[in-house]
Amino acid sequence: MRTPHKMTDTPPDVSIKSARKLFLSGASIVWIIPLLALFVALGVAWNSFNARGPQIFVEFEKGSGIKAGETELRFRDVTVGRVEEVGFSAGLGKVVATIRVDKDVAQFIDNSAAFWIIQPEVSAQGITGLSTVLSGVYIEGSWNEEIGDFEDRFVGADSAPLIRAGQTGLQIAFRTVGNGQLTDDAPILYRGIEVGRLGKAQIAPRGNFAIVEALIYDDHRDLVNTSTRFWDSSGFRLSIGPSGAEVDFESIATLIGGGVTFDTFVSGGDRVQDGTVFEIFPTKEEARSAVFNASAVDPLKLSVIFDENVSGLAVGAPVELSGLTIGEVESLSGIVDYNQFGDSRVRLNVTLSLQPARLGLPGAVSATSALAFLQDRVSNGLRARLASASLLTGGLKVELVTVADAPDAQLVAVDDALPVMPTTKNETSDAAATVEGVFSRINNLPIEELLNSAIGLMNSAQMLIGSDEIQQTPRDVRTLINEVTGLVSSDSVRNIPVSLNATLSRVETLVATLEQEQMAKRLMEAVDAVSGAADAFSTSTEGVPELIAEMQTVAAKAGEIELQQLVDELTAVTRSADAVIGTPDAIALPGSLKNALDELNYTLQELREGGAVENVNQTLASARNAADNIAVSAKDLPQIVDRLSTLFDQASRTIEGYNQGDQISRTAQNTLRDIQKAADALASLARTIERNPNSLLLGR
């Protein structure tokens, strides 16, 4: 721009008409920059203002760490807003958090919305909100997916609601009158799997029961129908029954935090609508029986008269048909009716209350149909009897059983009285006595003595095992085995079979000779001869009775020699050897033992090859024959003795008569001396045999 300045020379006298000035003609182009900036700033400001969502006001009981400008509002864990201000409601009654919500989400926040504060929490079900330890708490919101009328004032919940808006599932409620431990947020388990969750338990307005909301997740809603029964699975249950002690709990979590489980015991339930109220039973058994109790059909009443008045039956005792409880004892009374029973004994009159539904009859379930069914069964032999319900308590129950050869009876109602069920022999065991007997027998067991003996035995065994001798046994055994090895491998032992063969041959020969010679006969002949000779002689008879006695002993010993005994002793020896070899310590000496065994094997093989075994058998047979002969011969000995005594009598008389005949006397004395020698030799042989029967076989 050119600045006009005054010109002093030659002023042209032109009428000057000032040019119409343009509005921005004097404006610098630099103004574009602030204008641009202004537009940008305004645009940004408008944009951010436009994108800004509405404010909502949520009331909480406590601030719980909410901070203005920091605490976020999250929906499905995504930040959709931020707390702008934390204040109090009028009168400081509550904390009001002013939350700026994202615009695109705000339209969904309608009366379905719920807000609660997420903070770290440790409970039996686990730890939740752990991330908020570092990041600080946040507010979780929940609303459905439908656009509704916007609201900006809410009351925040103090815990996460059980049923969040937009979440599908079966919404039911539970009632419980028992002292169950209904814990907030406890799981609902089915076969150990969590299929739902309890809400917050509350006491009903009248205070007579607790009620709790529950949600069955959508995937599992078909598990629940009107026949489903729920029971408390929290804690654990200890039961002692016929099958032993039983500890029952669902899971550690329910043990601590409580829980509810359920089952559908009968089929045919209807679909459950939202809002149905179920009862929570304390135990599974009660839940199960509640299925039947709930039937609307009138019970069938029957009367049973038991001849025996047995204690133990109580009101409420079960009535069972084939093990299934179909009813219970309703009342008990005594009955005395001379006209009906023919005596004045007191009988037990029991009224049964049967549930027709439990009979599982087809068609309509009613008392009439149940009665018809039972009448049919009674004509086929169904009878009532008392049976033991519990061995320990001695309680009784009423059992309906079919008796094969029962006398004819009918189940009929007489006049207005109840139909009377025929009975059969009771099957009650005196349980108390039985149990007592078992206990007393257990008591009588000499357990203490047994234990004392056992302890004594243990001590002795310990001392024995700990003694040095036993501990040195292996060494001794090894030495012994080495010696045995040496012995077995020695030539002399190797030659045993040969010697044995030779010996046996000799024994055989000897035995044969003995047989041939028929010593007894010869002895008799000799005695006869002597007796003949003795007639002529007289001499002293000293020593003869001893000889006889010795000979008798020999004979007895000969009779007593039994191979069986030998075999037994050998067996015993073998066993002892086995025992020694079987000790663990001996196993540690396999080298020596193997050698020994090898040698033994070798020797045995040689024995077998040398025919020694057969020879031994033959020899033993011969020896037995010889022994038999000896025994036979021995029978003759008394005769011999008689004859000898006769002989000696004669001889003594003769000798008295011929006292002077020295020549004859001397001869006779010589003869007697010879006889004495022979007898001595015989006695010596007998002693040798007695001492060592093997010598007879081995020829030594």
The residue ranges that bind another protein (CB under 8 A) are 1, 3, 26-28, 30-31, 33-34, 37-38, 41, 134
Minimal distance, residue 63 CB to another protein, in Å: 18
Query: How long a stretch of residues is the chain?
Result: 700
* Number of C-beta neighbours around residue 671 at 10 A: 15
Three-state SS string across 638-661, please? HHHHHHHHHHHHHHHHHHHHCCCC
Q: How far is the CB of 79 from another protein (least distance, A)?
A: 14
Least separation in angstroms between residue 65's CB and another protein is: 13
CB of 119 to another protein, least distance (A): 16
Instruction: Give 41 or 155: the residue with its C-beta nearer to another protein.
Output: 41
In the complex with another protein, the residue whose CB is nearer, 42 or 579, is 42
Return the structure tokens found at 85. Answer: 């201000």
Q: CB nearer to another protein: give 1 or 445.
A: 1
Radius of gyration of the chain (CA): 60
Helix (H) or strand (E) run with residue 307 in it: none
Min. distance of Cβ 77 from another protein in angstroms?
20
- Left, alpha or beta for 394 (phi > 0: left; psi -120 to 50: alpha)? left
Tell me if 58 sits within 8 A of 81, measured CB to CB: no
Which residues, 6+ apart, have CB-to-CB distance to 75 below 8 Å? 105, 140, 141, 142, 143
Contact 679, 547 (CB under 8 A): yes
Residue (36 or 314) nearer to another protein, CB? 36
Nearer to another protein, 1 or 19 (CB): 1
Closest CB to another protein among 37 and 579?
Answer: 37
Q: Which of 414, 327, 417 is nearest to 367 (CA)?
A: 327
Query: What is the closest distance, in whole angstroms, from the C-beta atom of residue 9 to another protein in the complex?
Result: 14
Say which residues have a Cβ less than 8 Å from residue 291's Cβ, sequence separation at least 6: 227, 229, 265, 266
**Nearest distance in Å: CB 136, another protein:** 8
Q: Smallest gap, in angstroms, from Cβ of residue 33 to another protein?
A: 6
For helices 496-517 and 590-609, give the axis angle rounded to 10 degrees.
40
User: Smaller CB distance to another protein: residue 26 or 466?
Assistant: 26
Contacts of 405 (CB under 8 A, 6+ apart): 381
CB of 127 to another protein, least distance (A): 19
Element (H, E) at 45: helix 32-51
Query: Closest CB to another protein among 33 and 277?
Result: 33
- CA 96 centroid distance within chain: 62
Which lies closer to another protein via its Cβ, residue 38 or residue 372? 38
Spatial distance between the Cα atoms of 328 and 354, rounded to a whole number of angstroms: 7
DSSP letter for each residue of 514-570 = HHHHTHHHHHHHHHHHHHHHHTT-----TTHHHHHHHHHHHHHHHHH--HHHHHHHH
In the complex, what is the shortest distance from the CB of residue 82 to another protein, in angstroms, rounded to a whole number?
Answer: 14
Rounded Cα–Cα distance for residues 23 and 643 (Å)? 189
Question: Could you write out the three-class secondary structure of 597-619?
Answer: HHHHHHHHHHHHHCCHHHHHHHH
What is the Cα–Cα distance from 274 to 173, expressed in whole angstroms?
Answer: 9
> Which CB sits closer to another protein, 5 or 191?
5
- Rank residues 39 and 439 by Cβ distance to another protein and give the closer one: 39
Question: Closest CB to another protein among 2 and 441?
Answer: 2
* CA distance linking residue 501 with residue 497, whole number of Å: 6
Q: Minimum distance from CB of 1 to another protein (Å)? A: 6
Q: Shortest distance, CB of residue 83 to another protein, whole angstroms? A: 16
Q: For residue 223, what are the CA distances in angstroms to 17, 226, 227, 272, 476? A: 101, 10, 10, 10, 79
